[in-house]
Amino acid sequence: MVSLHATTRIPVSAWLLTTLVALAGCQPDTATGGPGSIVTVDWLSQNVADTTIVPIHVGSEAVFNEEHIPGASYLSFADFAVRNDSATGLRNELPPPDTMRQRLEALGISDDSKIVVYSDNERTLFATRLLFTLDYLGLGEQSFLLDGGLLAWKAAGNPVTADLPDTRPGTLSTKPVNELVVDAAWIAARMNTPGYVLVDARPHEQYAGAQEQTESRQGHIPGAVNLPLTELYDQDGKMRHAAELQRLFQNAGFTPGDTVVAYCVTGVLATGVTYAARHLGYEILVYDGSIEDWSADPDRPMTASPSADRR
């Protein structure tokens, strides 16, 4: 469970200027960042022969079998998003840490690996969900999102292959998990707590309760702001520039020192928002059960309004 802590606040204008200057000077052509880091296809093409780099293809196995980045291994969504085996039966939960480490080791990942995750289409949500899982396992400092994924790689004229990589098993040290996940009780106890902004990453129609949801009640958690995942990435699956991201987060009501607490339907879309937030330097948490969990209890409040809490 995550505990509240005091945050030191600085004027928004000064913080924003400092943040954007720092981000402008950080070229994504280096792989030295922490959680939320991005690399370009140019960087990967120049370093693809580096044996410490392990590209991970997420998306369709059929696409992977037909074409993927040379040296890439495949992980299916089911490898890192599992159904909860408790009475709740929640979907797309984090796998047991030891099980996930073994899967990563089988792909040749070790303590010194640079893990470059990419999507095979313009939707980044599976890639960011895997990156969130890696961050949870303590591997966030060595994990990176390939901006634009396979589509950008091919558009730049880089080669693809159907050949499987010659992989030797890796070795990962056991690390304590990062406490990045909160539950319904945590959300209920901290609604409207200063320093935490609850973000609904779903399309606005779902947030507003205008679109029927078969798995849950309609509407959103009271106090949540709506920042759809699709606003943070362009139509080609590339993350928007830092200045544009910062404007979107500010318009959603964020101030310096805030923690992004994101949810969606089952915790997948939410990771696209938190990865962008990490990229800007925000602390992040994910309500992994999301609306599927929250709305299952009729005593938990829901708000359905086309305009409420949209900033």
Instruction: Tell me if residue 26 is catalytic.
Output: no
Q: Are 220 and 302 in contact (CB under 8 A)?
A: yes
Residue 94 CA: distances (Å) to CA of 75, 80, 86: 14, 6, 13
Largest CA distance in the chain: 55
Q: Are 68 and 107 in contact (CB under 8 A)?
A: no
Q: Which of 75, 146, 252, 264 is catalytic?
A: 264
Nearest Cα to 144, choosing from 159, 158, 134, 157?
A: 134
**Which residue bears the tokens 């089911």?**
78
Q: Is 238 in a helix, a strand, or coil?
A: coil
Q: Are 256 and 12 in contact (CB under 8 A)?
A: yes
Residue 9 CA: distances (Å) to CA of 45, 65, 90, 297: 41, 50, 37, 36
- Amino acid found at 154: K
Q: Which residues contact 185 (CB under 8 A, 6 or more apart)?
A: none
Count other C-beta atoms under 10 Å from residue 71's C-beta.
21
**Which residue bears the tokens 């200027």?**
17
Q: Are 284 and 292 in contact (CB under 8 A)?
A: no
Q: Is 22 in a helix, a strand, or coil?
A: helix
Q: Which helix (H) or strand (E) holds 127?
A: helix 125-136
Q: Is 75 in a helix, a strand, or coil?
A: strand
Residues recognised as catalytic = 264
